[in-house]
Amino acid sequence: MQVQDQHGQRIRFCKAQDGTRIAFATTGVGPPVVRAAHYLSHLQFDVESPVWYHWIRELSRYNHYIRYDERGCGLSDWNVSDFTFEAWVSDLETVVDSLNLNKFTLLGVSQGGPVSIAYAARHPGRVDKLVLYGTYALGYAKRERTQEDKELGEKRRLMHKLMELGWGQDNPAFRQLFTSLFIPDAGPEQMRWFNELQRVSCPPQNALKFDDVNSNIDVTDLLEEIDVPTLILHAREDAIVPFDQGRLLATQIRGARFVPFEGRNHILLENEPAWPIFLREIRQFQGVSPQDQVFTKQVITDRLPEHELSETKKLIVQTDEIALARFSVVGNYLRYQAEVRNSLKDWKQKIIMGLKSPSNGENYLVWAPPGSGKTYFVQELANSLKDTVSYEELNLAQLSENEFRSKLDQLSSIRQSSLCLVDEVDAKPGQSWPYEALLPGLERGGGGRVSFVLAGSSTSEMQEMKQRIMTRPKGPDLLSRIPSGNEFVIPTLSQGDKFVLGLGQFRQAGKKRAHPVNEVEKLAVYYVCITPRLSNPRQFREFTNQAVQRLPQGEDRVKYDHLFNAGDPENKEFWERTKTVREELVGQFVSVRD
């Protein structure tokens, strides 16, 4: 099976020697670069993330970039018995063999480093170049040679205990602590994404197994066997992998080039001074010309391929007036493409008819990729029925067992028709109580006419989500309560969707503040459509509210400058970056009406 998403990455699966399905993704064209897997990854989630997307974008610019999710993690099989270092090396061999790669650059980041070292030692004829970033030859349990090593080892053992106690409980304080160690200098949005990655990437029992194996890795005996050109990069103040581990690799691998740089983050973020250093070193190592590297700096923050940027600009330039009602599915949930819009309207009507049925309410199963606005869709549907239907929203990932059961009990006492969204229905995979608690409500409609919408986003498609649910306690029973024909997929947002969504959110923000918005400058619309951090309705809503707050009294037009606070460097950077396209967008407005 192969899936291609809106970012152009192609997701496929191969089978390891023990039958475990390994998910891998490919992007870009050029000499192949294979990134050895590490835990805390999710092929689909990472391509949306401000923590990892710049890695994917830039490493795909001149190369055929190949990533895969580790067994027990991301889109690969979660329920596996073999959690060993040998299995990790074998999985890398499986991915490489499935793509028939003869020569390639091998990239080892963090845990992927020792796996890459083992592979390069076994297959020197296939690894053309080896790049090791923020990685190690010794797991933390094997490093206790100095007092500093012992202190760090004690901290890591404490973190392991916290993983045992906190990961499975979705404790926000725990997740933030973990994030603060990995990316201490990250901004709030980057931290939020990394917090969420911990939840969607793997269940708690797998996280503990990963940490157990990682802590006892020792590939020091293999370092002198490495006989390929090697580049090693390491942040001086990395709190996860000590700087001395990078020095150890550089000392023991013959001819290795060692590049230290300032920084505390274990994952190199795009806004760090070291990021262009990292790119320059890797590209020089691979033979990319200096002229191309200068060009890269000019386009480094473009998230979309050039043809999509061109199509987005063309759409905005050609639109002078827009009636939002034409694009409405329900309320303020807008979709640009008629085919998508009509499909979602059919689903909307099906839910409404189920709520009006004299029998118990219907149950629905929904899969949607991250950022497609599934929650916003159901919220807008509920809002359109607020006079006759009550609404309850339960996020399984965020609720404890007692909270979840209590809310379901409250729902069962409501006598009027009710709509209940159970979001992240595939969360907490290692626990039996979620579906045990849900089943009575799904069976009897909660005691009144309750329609349950069970929604998830953490897999690559509906079928995979159903397969994961099937493997859980009471999972088959839960799926049996979804009538035939009540499964729906919400497509990812297109550039046209972002266009109408952005304009709609500007209009709504004006209404909420009693400050009418009737026009939006086209350069402002272009910014909203192509900016990576604006990828779902919630982010659009927060951003447009802030912009409308900056409008002076009496101004009913949102201009490009209203998007930023005074002195915001992003304003200047975007202005410079769009100098070749902004002539047709500056001073031109789209008139917006309901």
In a domain, 334, yes or no: no
State whether 464 and 574 are in the same domain: no
In a domain, 577, yes or no: yes
536 closest CA partner among 379, 395, 351: 379
State whether 158 and 76 are in the same domain: yes
Position 4 scores a pLDDT of: 42
Position 533 scores a pLDDT of: 67
Strand partners, 27: 65
- Indicate yes or no: pTM above 0.85: no
Where is the domain boundary, 298, 314, 348?
298
Determine the Cα–Cα distance for residues 280 and 14; give it in Å rounded to an integer.
Answer: 33
Position 270 scores a pLDDT of: 86
State whether 534 and 443 are in the same domain: no
State whether 373 and 266 are in the same domain: no
Residue identified by tokens 């983050």 is 265
CB 246 within 8 A of CB 258: yes
State whether 76 and 171 are in the same domain: yes
CB 66 within 8 A of CB 43: no
Q: Tell me the Ramachandran region of residue 263: left when phi exceeds 0, alpha when psi lies from -120 to 50, beta otherwise.
A: left
Determine the Cα–Cα distance for residues 213 and 86; give it in Å rounded to an integer.
Answer: 10
186 closest CA partner among 239, 231, 133: 239
State whether 228 and 89 are in the same domain: yes
Determine the Cα–Cα distance for residues 189 and 197; give it in Å rounded to an integer.
Answer: 12
Which CATH number fits the domain that encloses residue 449? 3.40.50.300
State whether 521 and 382 are in the same domain: no
Determine the Cα–Cα distance for residues 232 and 281; give it in Å rounded to an integer.
Answer: 10
- Residues whose CB is less than 8 angstroms from the CB of residue 68 and which lie 6 or more positions away in sequence, other chains included: 22, 23, 24, 25, 35, 37, 43, 76, 91, 92, 95
Which CATH number fits the domain that encloses residue 14? 3.40.50.1820
Position 79 scores a pLDDT of: 86
In a domain, 375, yes or no: yes
State whether 482 and 527 are in the same domain: no
In a domain, 479, yes or no: yes
Where is the domain boundary, 432, 461, 489?
489
Position 421 scores a pLDDT of: 95
Where is the domain boundary, 280, 298, 316?
298
State whether 128 and 229 are in the same domain: yes
In a domain, 335, yes or no: no
User: What is the span of the domain harbouring residue 263?
Assistant: 2-298
Position 147 scores a pLDDT of: 62
State whether 100 and 19 are in the same domain: yes
Residue identified by tokens 């769009």 is 578
State whether 476 and 531 are in the same domain: no
Tens-level pLDDT at each residue, the chain (594 residues): 444 444 468 889 999 999 999 999 998 888 999 999 998 899 988 988 889 988 998 898 888 999 999 999 999 998 888 999 999 999 999 999 999 999 999 999 999 999 999 999 999 999 999 999 999 999 877 776 666 666 666 666 667 666 666 665 555 667 777 788 889 888 877 888 888 888 788 887 888 888 889 888 999 999 999 999 999 999 999 988 989 999 999 999 999 999 998 889 999 998 888 888 899 899 989 887 654 443 333 333 334 567 778 899 999 999 999 999 999 999 999 999 999 999 999 999 999 988 877 665 689 999 988 778 899 999 999 999 998 899 999 988 777 889 899 999 888 787 788 899 999 888 777 678 999 999 988 875 444 578 899 998 866 778 888 888 888 889 999 999 998 889 999 998 889 999 999 999 999 999 998 999 999 999 999 999 988 667 778 878 888 999 999 999 999 999 999 998 887 777 887 888 888 888 999 999 999 999
In a domain, 565, yes or no: yes
In a domain, 347, yes or no: no
CB 568 within 8 A of CB 527: no
381 closest CA partner among 419, 337, 416: 419
User: Residue 417 carries which DSSP code?
Assistant: -
In a domain, 331, yes or no: no
Domain count, the chain: 3
* H helices present in 265-325, as ranges: 274-286, 290-299, 306-318
State whether 32 and 19 are in the same domain: yes
